[in-house]
Amino acid sequence: MSGSLKSFLIQSIRRDGRMTFARYMGFCLYHPEFGYYIQERERTGVKGDYFTSADLHPLFARLVARQAARIWDVMGRPVPFAWVEMGAGRGLFAVDFLQWSAVALPEFFTALDYVAIEPGAAQRRRIAERLTEVGCAGKGRLLADLGELAPLTGCFFSNELVDAFPVHVVTRSRGCLKEIYVTVQADELAEEMGPISDPAVAAYVARYAPGVEEGQRIEVNLNAESWMRAVAAKLRRGFVLTIDYGDVASRLFTPERPRGTLLGYIQHRTTEDFLRTPGEMDLTAHVNFSALMDAGRAAGLDVEALTSQEEFLLRLGEANQFADIYDPGQTEMQRLQARLKLKTLISPAGVGRIFKVLVQKNNRIGPDHDWRPPAGD
C-alpha cells in the first residue's frame, strides 16, 4: 500500500513539479484509495497507531454527553437538536454517547439527531455496524463530508480532528521566509526549500509567528480556518465544541520548538521521517487555537471559553462525584481500573493539560445562557 501511494506521488511530482508539504500531507491522509484515513484499517486503540480519549474509557463520551444535554437545555430544548461529530473514526465515541444518553438522559436522547461525519467508507460501515449492535441504528446519520449537511440547530463537536488537517511547513533561511516542498531525488521523496507558495501563508506567519528564527520550522494550517468558516455557515443556531492538542499562537510558535510540532504516529511510536512510508502513518500538528478563535469571530462565533481538558472534564464530573465512571455490577478491581483511566484523561502530566477545549457559540444565542453545568449539581 505504501509503495502504491509512493509511486503515485513520485509520478505526480515528475509530471507536475514539486508539491507543498500541505499537498503531500493531504495525499498521505486523504487520497481516495491510499490515504491513511480512507483505508480499512485500525487507526486507534491497541491495534492502531495512537490512542484517543474515547479509546481510554466510555466516561469521556458520557461527560461530553452531559455537556451536550446542558447546551440543549440552555438553548430552550429545541427538537430536533443536532449533535454533529466530525471525524467519527471507529464510532466508539458515538456508541458510548448514544448508549449512555438513552438511559441517563432520556429526554435529551429523544430530541437528539446524531450526525457522524467520517470520510472513509469502510469506517462509516464500521460505525453503522456498531450502532446496530447496541440498538442505536435509527439514531445516527452517517455522512462523508460536511458539505452534505443542511444548516442546523445544535452543536458541532470534534475530538482530535483539526490536528489532522494538512499543513504548510515554513522556515527562515538566510533571513527570508521559505516553504518546505516535497520533491524527488534519485527515485526517492525528498524535501527542498522554495518560495512561499501562497500569500495567505505569509499573512498567517506575519500574524501569528512574526518572530520565526533562523532555521526554525512552524506549521501553517490554512485548512483549519476554512473549516471553521464552513462549520459556522452550517450553524443556524448553537455551539461549536473543539477538543484537540495545541495552544494559542504565543505559546505554540516559540524557539523552544525549533522543529515545529509536526509528528508522524505509527504503531504507537512517533517519527519525524515524514516521507518514509506515505499513507501508512498518521501525520499531525498542534492546533493554533488563536487562528480558530479569530476565524470563528469573523464568521459570527463568539468565544465562550478556551480551557484545558482537565478543567473541562473535572467541572463535568465533579457535579456528581464522577459517578458516571462506573457501570452496574463492576468488581472493585474493575472500578479501580476505571479510576486509573479517569486519571489519564484529567492528569496535568498527560492529556489533561496538553489537550484544549474551545467552546464557541453562535451570536444568535443571548449572553445570559451559561453553557457550563452548575458545580455540584
What CATH number does residue 358 fall under? 3.40.50.12710
- What is the model's pLDDT at position 253? 97
Half-sphere exposure of 318 (CA within 13 A, CB side): 12
- What is the model's pLDDT at position 35? 92
- What is the model's pLDDT at position 1? 38
**Is the residue at 135 inside a domain?**
yes
- Candidates 289, 318, 324; CA nearest to 303 is 289
Domain count, the chain: 1
Distance CA 10, CA 184 (A): 6
Mean pLDDT, contiguous 10-residue spans, the chain (377 residues): 79 97 97 88 56 72 93 95 94 93 95 95 91 90 95 96 97 97 96 98 98 97 98 97 96 96 87 92 96 98 93 80 68 72 63 84 72 62
> What is the full DSSP assignment across 235-262?
EEEEEEEEEEEEE-HHHHS-TT-TT-S-
Pairing type for strands 140-143 and 112-117 reads: parallel
**Is the residue at 202 inside a domain?**
no
**Is the residue at 179 inside a domain?**
no
- Candidates 76, 72, 75, 127; CA nearest to 101 is 72
- What is the model's pLDDT at position 2? 45
Is omega for the bond preceding 258 within 30 degrees of 0, making it cis? no
Report the amino acid identity of residue 119: P
**Is the residue at 149 inside a domain?**
yes
**Is the residue at 181 inside a domain?**
no
Beta bridge partners of 284: 263
**Is the residue at 244 inside a domain?**
yes
pTM of the model: 0.90
Dig out the grid coordinates for 131 from the structure: 450502532
Are the C-beta atoms of residues 90 and 43 closer than 8 Å to each other?
yes
Q: Helix H segments across 34-143?
A: 53-56, 59-74, 92-104, 106-111, 121-133
Domain span including residue 330: 53-166+222-362
All residues at 6 or more sequence positions from 69 whose CB lies less than 8 Å from its CB, including other chains: 101, 105, 108
- Candidates 280, 260, 290; CA nearest to 272 is 260
Dig out the grid coordinates for 66 from the structure: 452531559
**Is the residue at 232 inside a domain?**
yes
Q: Helix H segments across 235-329?
A: 249-252, 289-298, 309-318
Are the C-beta atoms of residues 324 and 66 closer than 8 Å to each other?
yes
- Crossing angle for the helix pair 222-234 and 289-298, nearest 10 degrees? 40
**Is the residue at 18 inside a domain?**
no
Beta bridge partners of 109: none
- Crossing angle for the helix pair 59-74 and 332-346, nearest 10 degrees? 60
208 φ/ψ angles, rounded to the nearest 5 degrees: -110, -20
All residues at 6 or more sequence positions from 195 whose CB lies less than 8 Å from its CB, including other chains: 178, 179
Are the C-beta atoms of residues 238 and 75 closer than 8 Å to each other?
yes
> pLDDT tens digits, residue range 208-232?
999 999 999 999 999 999 999 999 9
Dig out the grid coordinates for 84 from the structure: 454533529
Distance CA 277, CA 264 (A): 10
Are the C-beta atoms of residues 190 and 273 closer than 8 Å to each other?
no
